[in-house]
Structure 1
């Protein structure tokens, strides 16, 4: 009988182990050799080698033709990356045996990017090519690329592309992109409803937008007008959407009771029997009254008080008070970053609230290392820029200015915001003007001011920025980048406030005000002439605090001047009384329209602006439930 051969090596090793004697390569006592190991670099190494073989043309077994370009590659790599290619090469289709395959309905650039991703795991995204890449990734069923493209587009949604991106997202059911673009459309509905992109929306996409409670419209008429413009753009093909679109209009929110009757007489609406029946029922029974208002219907014109006093306790005030003339209520909005003061503030034509520059206060002010004015005061000029997001009551950073400055003026045209004057490091007065492109989010140097214009007042009219200080009155043409001298007012306007009203510039001086009344001077830029209107009366026994200059402003098409009153004997900065005077152009008289007080400390200087703010996003003045935020 055959016997098994002995295993002397194993036996001797076992004997050595049991005897405590270590021989040869036997591990020391208590040491365990892992039975499984993993190379963390193996996957990358294999991918790198596949890319090397692709570049050198090794083991190429298929060529993908797209348009006029040819992409040699490996079937295994394509199949591992894309279910589309795996099905093509393994399901017995004709392409299984072909050396070359031709793809349609995709562009060569996108296919090239996808093949590069298959071999490198890297993507190079841009807004010019990302939509085509998303389409190609959808065709090839590569979900990572789809989601990455959707996230990239969502991060680059703006008011100029949100409508087209929303339509694109609806076509490919990209919920991420759809949500972000729809939100921006809702915020800017009235403006965007007049664009070509809006006119190109599909009917189902328009219905989705019109059904939203979050439309930022002040009147339901704006929703109806937008729907009519879209329908009349191509009535022949769009009439089938008329009934559903009409049902999205909340007629009970429209003040004009004749609207439904007018629509019944409209030729386009007459062509839809279903729509005619719906409008007839509305005429007979009246529109339902329990209809929710659109979100934008809570917007009101408000006086916003941005304080510029140095506050060494950043936790003391972190909300900005706002006074609503319509309701005589005080609300608060989020403040710019804590500790920032003496910044420039402006409101654009599109109601964007922008702050720029300002100072931070050092805790070690007045230290031995201080050598100049701003350092002695512990002031650090800033160049950060923030824009207010109305629908979330928070601030977002934008591109910073090129120059650090505080105590500056911001002036807004339709396309740019200009940073004018102010003080820089060392407390020196700055004469450089730089401009911010609202669309491109970029700053650039524009021009320098003539010397001796600080502090100053700047106001925009048309394409010109008018700058005034004392007896000096100049204008800067933003189109030609040239300065021009203007006829002085004849009265010394020291640090005035200014606004545009009925195509004229109204100025109210900030210092050296007579007790008999506040003079108001008016400049007609077309006639290039000055004149005066009635002075604003001052109540007997009161005086104007020199640190809070009168502010002239336009609120709901009416001219107003805001004045801070304080008792001569009791200076109560924590509850200062403000009076708002309204001007009557027919009688040339000012009348007191509102009196109110802000429950906030107003110590040195404040910046007032008029902005449309939505009460649905603000907090009552006595609420501490919110905080300023920044992204």
Structure 2
């Protein structure tokens, strides 16, 4: 910015500052007049209490008083008004706000104050009550706040609370009984919604039964209306036949029995055809995921450029994302601040120091500041709102250096180096620390592991893994660090798994994967470990596995469309519009994302 621009900005700042000071002084002066009851031209009477005020001040903050004092039927000579439907305490708060622009919103007064502010059209107080309710929003009160919103026109707050209910439905029904007080229309609005976040559709059916049992005489006749909103096709045939169909309420309704039979037939049809989810069929359309696994880049034998794919763990299906081809492999990927970042790696044999971010809403790529050095076979982790890029190699030089990216400043900063030079390692965060395990130092695969404390900028060596691993994946899962797969040499690929417990400072063996693999994608989603693709020793893989600690075994999931090795993964949470676009509308292809040779964007 030139001197003229700087001078103009300073002038605007000074003018705004002066205007605020003038308004503050004027407010203080008028408030002093009120305290001395000087020049007051109106008396507000509420339940026997009298409040002196100035008409012009009340008009400035309340459309109600403006209409009362200046409307077509107003009497300019009238000085006394009896105001019904409000308590003296609330009127005092409203009048004080008119003079000071301040109001103390508390848990004890927020509901009455919101009602009074809405009655007198004091938008400033309404807004502050909304902010207070947003800050207080939790599992135990969200239903009550949402029901309250039906009495007001507050679309922003209503939408936010409703999304909170949808997102946390499983948790809400476990701790709150407020859902039993909903009307049938309100309950229906929740359970019919695509964004309802439930791990099992049976939860929705059981919630309906619980709601009916709260007032059985009045509600039993509404079973069909609510059952029609359940995605019955997502339940198992056994559950539908043995639990749902055998329920007394269902048996008493021929229409309910008919819809259950249709759901069983649909389930069997999908199972026989092994077809993908049908998003056009209301009966079996999966709920939109609350989180998706994003897979970026990688390569296979035929193609060094791959697109961006999304995996919905609940529907067990893959969807391509309109993002163009990503010509990177052995890079890092991270989600931060609503953007997906891809960092370092290589493109057609060229080692990269570049990083780019992808706007998931607008589907556009943007370059960010390059790293201080090229990092092929890099690993990344996110902690405290920053991205850490660890190790890697360039020009046969193996790095122990670490860089930290701060999105607010778009800058990479060198932090304390690791104790060990390593590429093809993997990193994860747990309890505020960054862990890095395994890798390759140019001579051998490593068992070495260490952790970084961002608060002290220091690395601490932890016990070695039981197996040397490069091209491994590590993840923080169930308060442990999982080290998975990799290769102990160029030809021995591993399917073994081991876990590190920070409390005991020990590694122990865990159930092995179904397939040996290295250079795969790994993330935690839906309380499961998800392993994607990789290299199996002869070719890139398209197989996917998932591990649930509650079950204690690895299970196969739907394969990717394209084999990948050297890809990277991250998990996207929220962004409801993105989820809806991806899983209900399809996604055409965009042009290739091309990076110039030499590592520049």
Normalising TM by the smaller chain, what interval?
0.5 to 0.7
Q: Note the C-alpha offset of 1:607.
A: 0.8
Whole-Å separation in 1 of the counterparts to 2:247 and 2:437? 52
Shift in Å at residue 98 of structure 1? 4.4
1:606 aligns with 2:584: no
Normalised to the residue count of structure 2, the TM-score between the two structures is 0.57
Q: Which residue number corresponds to residue 5 of structure 1?
A: none
Please give the residue correspondences for 1:96-175 in structure 2 after superposition, counting only pairs within 5 Å: 98=80, 103-104=86-87, 107=90, 110-112=93-95, 114-116=97-99, 134-142=114-122, 163-175=143-155
Report whether the alignment pairs 1:410 with 2:378. Answer: no
Name 2:227's counterpart in structure 1.
249
Q: Which residue of 1 aligns with 2:472?
A: 496
Distance 1:127 1:295 in 2: 43
Quote the Cα distance in structure 1 between the aligned partners of 2:226 and 2:208. Answer: 9
Alpha-carbon distance change, 328 to 626 in structure 1, aligned in 2, over 3 angstroms: farther
User: Do 2:146 and 2:161's aligned partners in 1 also have CA atoms closer than 8 Å?
Assistant: yes
**Distance in 1, Cα, partners of 2:529 & 2:79:** 79
| Residues 339, 360 of structure 1: 8 Å contact kept | no
Q: Secondary structure at the match of 1:138?
A: helix
CA distance in 2, matches of 1:340, 1:132: 58
Q: Return the offset for 1:126.
A: 8.8
Q: Match of 1:171, SS?
A: coil
CA distance in 1, matches of 2:510, 2:159: 53
What is the rounded CA distance, in whole Å, between the counterparts of 2:498 and 2:150 in structure 1?
Answer: 53
Q: Within 5 A, what are the aligned runs for 1:148-297?
A: 163-196=143-176, 199=179, 202-203=182-183, 204-217=185-198, 219-228=200-209, 235=214, 240-241=218-219, 243-244=221-222, 247-250=225-228, 252-253=232-233, 254-255=235-236, 256=239, 257-260=241-244, 263-264=247-248, 276=249, 279-282=252-255, 285=258, 287=260, 289=262, 292-293=282-283, 296-297=286-287
Are 1:472 and 2:448 an aligned pair? yes
> 2:296 is matched with which residue?
306
- Alignment correspondent of 1:617: 582
CA contact (8 A) 2:416 2:457 kept: no
TM-score for both structures, normalised by structure 1: 0.55
Residues 565 and 578, structure 1, Cα contact 8 Å, conserved in 2? yes
**Separation in 2, partners of 1:180, 1:71:** 37
TM-superposed CA distance for 1:473, in Å, is 2.5
Contact 1:134 1:150 in 2 (8 A): yes
Distance in structure 2 (CA, Å) of the matches to 1:550 and 1:599: 11
After superposition, the Cα gap between the structure-2 partners of 1:626 and 1:218, relative to the gap in structure 1 and judged at 3 Å, is farther
* Cα offsets for 1:121-155 (capped at 9, x unmatched): x789999898766433311145x558867997999
- Summarize the Cα distance change of 1:147–1:306 in structure 2 as closer, same or farther, 3 Å threshold: farther
- The structure-2 alpha-carbon separation of the partners of 1:626 and 1:172, relative to structure 1 and needing over 3 Å to count, comes to farther
Assess if the C-alpha contact under 8 Å between 1:154 and 1:176 holds in 2.
Answer: no
CA–CA distance in structure 1, aligned partners of residues 137 and 306 of structure 2 = 29
RMSD (Å), alpha carbons:
6.7
Structure 1 residue matching 2:589: 3-state secondary structure: coil
Cα-to-partner distance string for 1:27-47 (whole Å, 9 max, x where unaligned): xxxxxxxxxxxxxxxxxx999
Gaps of 5+ in 2: 1-21, 264-280, 439-445, 594-601
Distance in 1 (alpha carbons) for counterparts of 2:328 and 2:82? 64
What is the rounded CA distance, in whole Å, between the counterparts of 1:499 and 1:627 in structure 2? 31
- Residue matched to 2:271: none
Contact 2:294 2:308 in 1 (8 A): yes
Offset from partner CA, 1:500-548 (integer Å, 9 cap, x none) = 789975534656633244363524636934459879878xxxxx9xxx8
Deviations 1:435-462 (A, max 9, x none): x9xxxxxxxx9x9786437654334678
Match of 1:78 in 2: 58
Q: Aligned equivalents of 1:494 and 1:428: distance in 2?
A: 15
Report how many residues are paired. 497
The structure-2 alpha-carbon separation of the partners of 1:332 and 1:565, relative to structure 1 and needing over 3 Å to count, comes to same
Which structure has the greater CA radius of gyration? Answer: 1
Measure, in 2, the Cα distance between the counterparts of 1:170 and 1:453: 60
Tell me, in whole angstroms, the C-alpha distance in 2 between the residues paired with 1:262 and 1:503: 40
Cα distance in 1 between the residues matched to 2:24 and 2:462: 71
The 2-side partners of 1:324 and 1:214 are apart by 13
Pairing 1:333–2:296 present: no
Kindly state the Cα deviation for residue 189 of structure 1 after the two structures are TM-superposed. Answer: 3.3
